[in-house]
Chain A
Amino acid sequence: MAEYTYKLPDVGEGVVEAEIVEWHVREGDQVVEDQHILDVMTDKATVEIPCAVNGVVKTIVGEPGEVLAVGTVILVIEIDGTAPTQEAAPKPAKDEAKADSSPPPPAGEVSAKRTEGASAASEKPDAPKPSAPPSVPGQARDTSPASGGGKGAAPAPAAPSRPSGERALASPAVRQRALEAGIDLSAVPGSGPAGRVTHDDLDDFIASGGRLASRSGAASAGRAPRTGVETIKIIGLRRKIAENMALAKRTIPHIAYVEEIDLTALEDLRAHLNANRKEGREKLTIIPFLVTALTKAVVDVPQANAHYDTESAVLTQYEGVHCGIAAATPKGLMVPVIRHAEALDIWQIAAEVKRLAEAARTGKATKEELTGSTITITSLGAMGGIVTTPVINHPETAIIGVNKLQVLPRYNADGQIVPRKIMNLSSSFDHRIVDGYEAARLIQAVKAYLEHPATLFME
């Protein structure tokens, strides 16, 4: 019984990895030549992978959503006959005009199919190198002869003229540091005996910007190519964020809606409240006002304060507003939740925002404080920006982004140009659930509350 090993093919120019979108076969399935077995997504396109042999699927690697490097083994097929085990990187299907036609594809997948034929990689870009011979001693060379060799006498330090690729003489700790810093030690001039690279040499090399002075000979100050490459394993919170973002973007068709809000009146009120606030109260930002406006506005657009379960096709609308507030933490993005924001006044909301942000930042937020939001607010704070297209916090149906508040010229009712405090609200909605009209209705209601702040405090 022979095996046919598929490697993830080179699906296009410059593409080094692709995400598994969907397997169309399972382990144990019988497959035939040209059968469409897999969809993968690169940052450029979704590509169909056809099968090249007849046989039975033995092993599948990679769950949908997983990102694999080009050359990774993705499939082992047991084929009949006695041919020796083969390897293959199948050609991706040349693309038919399946995409770009109506109806729009479900989920947020890119479906512009590439039309150039991507070349199959016959070599194995990701194949490991053969393991190095186990024990080869330090290989650095110094062309200068050693001084006669009195006890402890060292020859004058000389920059090594180390042939390219030759292993540098350095202790394990120095080698490990170089590895972590992404530095090829053979490029570092060693000041020690026999060109030994010391910790100080490595410090100097890093401090000098890692110039390849010793190799290319006196690379002058000025512009030099940066040749370092750092690969970082995405784990922990970062990986969770990546998965959630991919899930949201993959399954939720986002519609973005941006509206300008005149906050001149609200800012006056806010300044007054802050100036006269009771001791022990948190200073108010715009967020508590926005949260309050949302708690009122969603009453008329309840599908925007909801969870949508794609699989069971059930929308759960909540009367209470549990407002997620996206917060930057040292580890990455976290979304602590203000529970029943509709039951809190602005001071209580301000206190809760402060407390939760602190808890998230210090890693003390509980699971309950980090889950269960029904709608989310995201703010880039002082960084602002004029527009964002926020990604919905799955499985919610709406997210509201706060942009930069700035003084801009606007016409007043009399046709005169006046300075106004203007801020954009950028929002995204799950377009499967929230129609454009409803989205606009919600944001217009929020706008009305914020531009007439007294109405925030009326029932």
Chain B
Amino acid sequence: MKAISPPPPADRRWFLNRLLRAGLGTLGIGALGWAFWDRRGPRPEEEIAAGDPLPDYSIPDQAKRLAVVHGAERGANVTAALAALGGMQRFIRAGDRVLLKVNAAFAAPPMLGATTHPDIVSHVARLCFQAGARQVLVTDNPINDPASCFALSGIAAAAQSAGAQVILPEARRFENYSLPHGRLIRHWPLLREPLRRVDKVIGLSPVKDHHRSGASMALKNWYGLLGGRRNIFHQEIHTIIAELALLIRPTLVILDGTQSMIRNGPTGGSLDDLKPTQTLIAGTDPVAVDAAGAALLDKTVDDLPHLRMAERLGAGTVDYRSLLVK
């Protein structure tokens, strides 16, 4: 034990010194308390702002257009469709940063058609770079393990070969977002970070049967930008697809029906589930593109209620014939 030192003399200087220290300590504690004082307590979720609105990525003052091309070779189809629309330079300007939203939902090889075909990814990425794009990002929030999905679907290799960069849907890339006037997309995790980094968004989707919604095409592809327990949206699948049509106003969408998954979708798993429909549809109005794509699955607009719902919300038109380029 250390010896206890005797108390110092109790003079005035000593007392003033102690008084000063006590006063400063009280002031310091008070200042700290004031700085951290929360008068109201936590607010309800609805009062918390959820995200600044997403920009419109479409080209302003450009009439909506749509091109349908036929052929068995995906690269040639992409080239032909974009030529019909006036070339990639109509959509991508020098220095643009472009996001390719692919459908990489499942860890399945490309030949099974459950994911965007890697040829589409590499071709579109190259066309973007040729049009002067500075950077091309590729992303999706798949259903199966993300890294496996991008690897097995061949999308990662295709992106790499074209010089594009795959963005995996890590938790830090999501932000809570509320769609203005939306009913379902309220305070919902959105894969926002890659969207913040780009000027243009291009959707690349396969044509797939979907037992719940009728089809998974260009609009359903935006589902892969949602995070969280998005499965509950299946209760109102058509409403959520219509809201997604409002959420993302893309620069361009490309619907690849070179092979279409006509049954057992959206997972497929067998070559028997595919049909060589040899069609590729590209356009600036995703509602019209999906309306045109319905026929590939032997469906009509009436079989896909979300298309008319999206049209009523002002996201596009189901009358795709009016947009066809000659």
Same complex for A and B? Answer: no
> A-contacting residues of B (Cβ < 8 Å)?
none
> B-contacting residues of A (Cβ < 8 Å)?
none
